[in-house]
Copies of this chain bind each other. A is one copy, B any other.
Amino acid sequence: MPYYIGDVIKDYNKLVIRTPEAFGKTGINVRIKTRVEDIDPQKGLVRLSDDSTIPYDILVMATGADAVRLDIPGADLDGVFVLRNLTDALRIKSYLNEKNCRKALLIGGGFIAMEMCEALRNLGIETTVMIRGCRPVTRWDAEFTDIIIEELGKNGVSFVPETKFLAIEKGPSSPLVLKTDKGDLDADVILMGVGTRSDTALTKAAGLEMGESGAIKVDSRQQTSVPGIYAVGDCCEVFHRVAQRWVHLPLGDIANKQGRVAGQNIGGHSTEFPGIVGAQSFKVFNLEVGATGLTEKEATQYGFQPISATIHGLPVGRPMAQGEKLMVKLIADKTTGKLLGGQCIGAKGAIQRIVGLSVALWSGLAIEEVGYLDLPYAPPFGGAWDAIHVAAQEIMKKM
């Protein structure tokens, strides 16, 4: 019988096994609050923190990734949270209510941080985003992050780039003070969204080979380098169809698919995970923000010859337009003529385009084909020439 090592209600730095209630009726044996200390793949045993062992025929590593806490004094103070799992969310929610928080500092500008801005502002909390770099959500290019920063401003979020974080202390007039090279900032709550790190202790114990990305190396059946051990989710790599290489992209939908593929293979139904194209999206206030495929920087890094075009289009037919904006950037490879990636931003219709571009990338379409794709045209949803047609044709002119 396979055991699953999961992280649904994982405490920081601990591994617990999925909630038993959900599996109770299925006959699957689930142990919670049970830390796996060691894995012996030769004997097919996991050793628990109480020194007991459990034998396995097949083991699935689903240990996810841990949120990184800044290595500064006071990073563990009460009221300082990371943004990772359900436990974090529940704790933050309780804290905001109990302490009647009015002032939040967000350290980090990833898309989870962007989503938190909206959640905090919806609660009427004064919110400041501070980052070490120049721009938030670096997955998107500067012309997109400009719009995002503007949207933060419109919605009362202060944005402070290029900040060095020095320490967090208890404050004289507020619960917390964040000390930075730009001065001291008072806060009721501090949220850190500065990336994730895989827990590698167990993978070392099991002797699992790691990929170049630093995550567990798997094949398209989710098998690791060690027979009988599978890996799925944020702890392992995934094949990027556009980059044509294994990458680490810890996203929930990918993890779900990998779990299914591993389950199918374990159950005897041979299934290969066909890979990903790097599709991502988030919503921040009134903006849909989406991206798929490679950025120009990634494309260059992977040996492509990227050319790009950015257009300012409409999410509706021109006669219906009432000031809506939709910016689309496409990237194609000069050598092969293939679409390499796309980014899109706007109050509506951005994700619709990223869906289409993601399937185009999945299928390896040429940019010329993207310029003629048959899309479900109607004025409430776009023009007879859709914004992605127009962007593709702009690129064609440069080819």
User: Which residues of A are at the interface with B, using a C-beta cutoff of 8 A?
Assistant: 111, 241, 251-257, 273-283, 288, 290-292, 351-356, 358-360, 362-363, 365, 369, 372-378, 380-381, 384-386
Contacts and interface: CB of A to CB of B under 8 A. Distances in A.
A382 B386 CA distance: 22
30 contacts: A111-B378, A241-B374, A252-B384, A253-B374, A253-B384, A253-B385, A255-B384, A256-B384, A257-B372, A273-B372, A274-B369, A278-B374, A279-B375, A279-B377, A281-B376, A281-B377, A281-B378, A283-B381, A292-B374, A292-B376, A351-B352, A352-B355, A355-B355, A355-B356, A355-B376, A358-B373, A359-B363, A362-B365, A362-B369, A363-B363
Contacts of A279: 374-377
A243 B258 CA distance: 33
Given A356-B359, A375-B253, A381 B351 contact: yes
Contacts of A254: 374
A362 B373 contact: yes
Contact of A376 (B256, B280, B384): B280
Contacts of A278: 374
A360 B359 contact: yes
A276 B281 CA distance: 28
A257 B255 CA distance: 39
A289 to B, nearest CB: 9
A371 to B, nearest CB: 9
Nearest to A344: B376
A346 to B, nearest CB: 13
Between A353, A376, A384, the greatest number of chain B beta carbons within 10 A of the residue's beta carbon is seen for A376
A274 B372 contact: yes
Contact of A282 (B253, B369, B378): B378
A324 to B, nearest CB: 15
A218 to B, nearest CB: 15
Contacts of A275: 374
A380 B384 CA distance: 27
Contacts of A369: 274, 362
Nearest to A370: B359
A117 to B, nearest CB: 14
Contacts of A257: 372
A361 to B, nearest CB: 8
A374 B288 contact: no
A353 B253 CA distance: 16
Given A360-B359, A360-B363, A251 B352 contact: no
